Every structure is written in structure tokens, then in C-alpha cells.
Structure 1
Amino acid sequence: MLPFLKGITTGNVVSFFIDAGLILIGNWLLKTIAKLVQLKNPESKNKFLPAVGSLLNWLSFYGIVILFLFHFSTTKWLLKPLYSKDGIKVSALLIIVAFMIVTLASRIIRLFTRYVLANVYEHYNVDRGLSYTINQIIYYTVMIAALAFSFTIVGINLTALGAIFGVLGIGIGFGMRNIAGNFVSGIIILFERPIEVGEVIEVDGKIGRVEKIRLRSTLIRTAKEGTLIIPNQYFIETIIKNRTGAEMRAEVKVSVSQGVDSKLVHRLLEDAVDQIKENCEGILKSSQLEIRFVNFRNSAMDFFVELPVANFEVKEKVESELRHSISMLFNEHKIKMPPILTDSEK
């Protein structure tokens, strides 16, 4: 027989599985009751049922873990001290309890911020960026407290731990300076809020929406490149264009050879815009189109077209359709584009 099976009887195993089965049946009954209650109030479906279902699942999980500890608490492997620290005999049971405290704290605070504080924010019209900052501060505060308590349970001296990290910090500070810089930048972003969750920003020529601000990095969702993971230090050290309050515009630059009638080019660009307005969704009808003759070059004339659009998700699609339309009209009128010049020739 394996050492950790000593002291376990058939009665313990059968009793444990019966009690665990009762917990799962109770989980199912409570979810069924919640669905019946929801039928009387359909408007609560999106908030009530997910919260109750998630809470019941986690209560069932922790209930089964506690049952396991209760039924097998007399087994030697569970109570046998693994080490002793400052008079505290740390066993596998104590480590499991410490782990449960941390995971339970994480789950409860996430449920609290998602289903309780969200309603408070909605009631008091708290903007999305501020609510996200408050949620993150609450989460990290609770998790630090839970970790500190768990460390104390398993006999880890927090003062000694701080001294160890201090020594390690000096030794590896240069190697981890970027990580530390990003961490500090994440805290600055959460408190100062130069950018907020939900805002549309431009990063290195790419436009996207801020999805999540973490302590080390920020997630930006773009229409074409997918999700960008950007170190937080970038936002502190670089000029970032915040497009949230600005009108989003599809922008196309086109060049034609010297000698072409510039007024004709202007009219063709207007015709190209009129063509795509009928087929492309997301173009703002009320805003004014802007076409500019922007520059002369050695053998070319540059024109710039700006077309207001609803959001950044349709921006690149509209720009692509506009280029197709311009190309077709230029071909029909035999308007030539200049050759591409190298950097030395410009």
C-alpha cells in the first residue's frame, strides 16, 4: 500500500463521494430555482443567472475540497509536518488551506467587482476608465492581503521575505529594470489615467481600442493586426494620439505625374468618393468630404483625401474601396502615376 493511503478506509471514501454527490445535486437544484426565478423577471437574465451560476460552481468546488479535508483529516500524509518554522508545523493540510484562501479571495473579488460594483458604477454614471481603475486597485489590495495572510499561515516571515527580495532586487535590478519600469508605468497609468479602457488610440501608426490595462502591459485591439501587447513604459515615454474624442477619418494619399490637369484629378477624386458612398457602410453622410492638393515633388503632384467614417473598425475597409475606385477612374482617363523614387532620388 502507498504511504499516503494509510489510514484511509472504504467508509471514508464512500462517505466522501456521497457527500460530494449531494453538493453537486444541490448545485443543480439551486441553478434550476434561479432559472425559475429569472422567468418571472426576464430583464435580470444577463446579470442574475451568470452571477448565481458562477458563485454556485465555485462554492461547490470549495465545498468538495473542504469535505475532502474533513473526511481524510486523520490520514498521516495530510497532517504530517513537512517543515517547522517559528514553532509552526506546516503540513500538506495547512498548505492546501493557504492555497484555498488565495484562490477564494481572487474569485470573490472578481465576482464582487463584476456583478456588484458594476451596478453601482452604472447607477452613479461612473465612466468606464475610472471604474476599471477602482476595480484594479481593489483587486491588487485584496490579493496582497490574502497572500500575506497565506504566507503567515505557512510560517513564512514577511520581514525576512522583504529583506530577501531587497537583496535580490539590488542584484538583479539592472537585469529587470525594464520590467520594473513597466510595472511603475502601469501604476501611473491606472492613477493618472492618460489612457483608459474603451478609448481609441493610435500607436505607431496603428489605431485600436484599449481593452485591458495590466501592471506590466496594455492590450490594444485593432481591426487588422489583432491584439497588440504594448509595454506600459511606452505610453509614458512616447507621444500617443488619443482618437476617442476626434472624428475618425479614412485617409488616402495619391500622386499623379506632373502635367496632369489638377482640377480634373480633383473632380475624379470626388467621383471616386461618390461611388463608394453607395456601397460602403460606416461612411458618415452628414460630415464634409475634404480633398486637398498638398504638395509638388520632382515629377509628381500629391493629393490627399479625407473621408469621415463611423469608427476605426471600418476605416481600413473604406480606404481600400476608395483606392480601388480611384484606380479605376484614373485608368479610364489615362492619368498616369509617377514612378516610385528611391530615398536618394527624392
Structure 2
Amino acid sequence: MLVLRIAAKKRPSLKDRVIPAANSILNWLTFYGSILLFLLYFSKQKWLFYTLYTSGDLDVTMFLIIVAFMIVSLGYQIARMIIKFIMPSVYDFYDVDRGLSYTLNRIIYYLILFAALAFSFSTVGLDLTAIGAIFGVLGIGIGFGMRNIAANFVSGIIILFERPIEIGEMIQLDGKIGKVERIRLRSTIVRTAKEGTLIVPNQHFIEQVIKNRTGSEMMASVTVSITYGTDTEEVERLLKIAVEQQKGHFEGILDFPEPDIRFVNFRDKALDFLVEVPVVNFDTKEKVESRLRHSIAELFWKHGIELASAYIERGEY
């Protein structure tokens, strides 16, 4: 350990990966050493080798059950170590992107864990063929009740392989914008600015239209409806003034692209204008939209421009 620590000072990458890996191995040796000492201490006790049940020619004892537990535990630890300490170097060397690396990590984890479970079942005499048949029969019986879980599980596999969304991407989900933090087999974790953490069933990403906002421009948008007969050129001029007033108050407003002000629609009793201002993130978007509405309301009141809704509420249409 002393040699590794001295080498780590010269090479930061060694410190980041080798030292934690060595610490993990020492923790493993301590844990499994304790179990081996336990087995050695009670090795002459009859209860440790007492036959609990017989599977074919195999007498299953408490000793075999402990060994099976150690196999599963060891498989879990090996999977974690490969994913945490070995695969990052491989991904860096081959320049694997974050989404693909996450998918490969999940595949490695489940394959190693499945192999460890299969080997541990065989150790205690459980027939995997019989277990598969039992689960097949149970699957028919409870399939209708668990069809949503099965659909989410399959959707999770599709997401991991096709990667329509990836870890770290910003998505818009039912009007909420959040960051994808984790993709699991049944659900995906999305963290939003206001609602906190959302646990979204994977089936939702396959069946619904999800907007991927990563790499796209974030726009603060305000729609204004005015009455017929209002000078539209004057309205556009006032909206530009409102935007310029706010550009000096927020560092999160981007200089490029330019803010966009458009006359977007004719309606039965209103004319619609859309104001769009590029911003850096979702928090700034909401603040800018609020301040824009304040500025627009003040400018419209000073210049005698009324919103269409005000006329409708007074019954002037």
C-alpha cells in the first residue's frame, strides 16, 4: 500500500483508480476472511454439516448454503469492481460515450450476477430447469396482473440498447423539464428543478412523445393577446422595449440567438404575439418569463393598450 500511495502522488490517475480498488480488495479479504474463520472455527460441529434436504445425490447442508451466499456476494462485488475501476479505463481508451458506457455497465452487472446466482443454485442442488418451468407456470397465472411490470422491464431493455435517452440529458416530460440521472430496468430517475425527483416507468418513454432538450436552445416564452384595432407595429415596438429592459437584469439571457418577437396568430377576438428570449437554463427561463410579463403589463398600461381578455371579461365583444 505504501508503494501504491507513493506512485499515486506522481500519477493522479493511479490515485483515482488503483488506490480505491486496493482498498476495496482489502475490505473483501476482511469480510470473506471473517466468514472463512467462522467456518474453520465450527468445522467440527455437526450442525454445520447436518443434512437439511437432499437433491438427487447431493446432501445440502448449512455449509453449502453459506458457500452459495458467498458465491452470490462475490459475484456482486466483482461486478461492482469491474464497472467502477476497470471499465472506465477501457471506455477512456476507446472513447466510448457516456450513454453506451452506462448500457455496457448494466449488461456486465446483470450477466455476472445471473451467472453467480445460477452457480450458487447449482451448489445447493437447485435444478435451474425445474425453476424455469415453475416460473413459466407462474408467469402464465400472474402475467395479466404483472403485464405493466413486464412492459416496463422490456421497455427498459429497449432504452438501454436503442438509447433514445441517455444519462445526463435534459428532457421535457408532461410539461416538466428535468435531467436523466439513472436508467433502471423498470423505471428511469429524472430530477427536475421544482418537482424534485420523478420516478418514470420506462414504458412511458416508449409510448409517449418525449422532447429531448439536450443541445437545443432554452427559450423564455411569453404569449400576448391584444384586441382588434390595436396598432400591431406599436405593440411589437413595446415588446422589444420590454425585452431590452430585462436583458440588463439577467446574466442568464444569452446574446445569441437574438430575441424573437412575432405576430403569430389571428383569433376570433384577439391577435396573438409571441416573445422568445434565449436563456441558459430552466430556472432562468421561469424568472425571465415572469419579469417580461411585468414589463409588458407596465408598458401596455402606460400606452393604453389592453389585452383581449380584458375586453372579453367586460363583455365588449
Aligned with residue 297 of structure 1, among 264, 267, 278: 267
Structure 2 counterpart of 1:138, one-letter code: I
Pairwise CA distance, 1:143: 1.1
After superposition, residues 104-253 of structure 1 pair within 5 angstroms as 104-253=74-223
- SS state at 1:114 partner: helix
Measured at CA, do residues 250 and 71 of structure 1 come closer, stay the same or move farther in structure 2, by a change above 3 Å?
farther
Question: Which residue of the partner structure matches residue 278 of structure 1?
Answer: 248
Alpha carbons 2:225, 2:309 under 8 Å: kept: no
How many residues align? The count is: 312
Cα distance per residue 1:199-255 (max 9 Å; x no partner): 222222222222221111111222222222111111222222222232222222233
Following TM superposition, by how much is the alpha carbon of 1:159 offset from its aligned partner in structure 2, in angstroms?
0.6
Q: 1:288 to 1:56 in 2, by over 3 A?
A: farther
Counterpart position of 1:7 = none
CA RMSD across the alignment: 2.6
Question: Which letter maps to 1:127?
Answer: D
Partner secondary structure for residue 255 of structure 1: strand
Shift of 1:74: 2.8
* Residue 328 of structure 1, CA deviation: 4.2
Match of 1:269 in 2: 239
Aligned partners of 2:16 and 2:242: how far apart in 1?
45
User: Letter of the aligned partner of 1:144 in structure 2?
Assistant: F
Gaps of 5+ in 1: 1-29
State the SS of the aligned residue for 1:155. Answer: coil
Counterpart of 2:225 (choices 247, 255, 269) is: 255
Moved more, 181-190 or 69-78: 69-78
Corresponding position of 1:69: 39
Alpha-carbon offset, residue 43 of structure 1: 5.5
- Partners of 1:265 and 1:47 lie apart in 2 by 61
The partner residue of 1:92 within 50, 62, 84 is 62
Amino acid at match of 1:119: S
State the SS of the aligned residue for 2:104: helix
Q: 1:63 to 1:257 in 2, by over 3 A?
A: farther
TM-score (norm 1): 0.80
Percent identity, please. Answer: 60
Q: Counterpart of 1:310?
A: 280
Q: Which stretches in structure 2 are left out of the alignment for 5+ residues?
A: none
Q: TM-score, normalised by structure 2?
A: 0.87
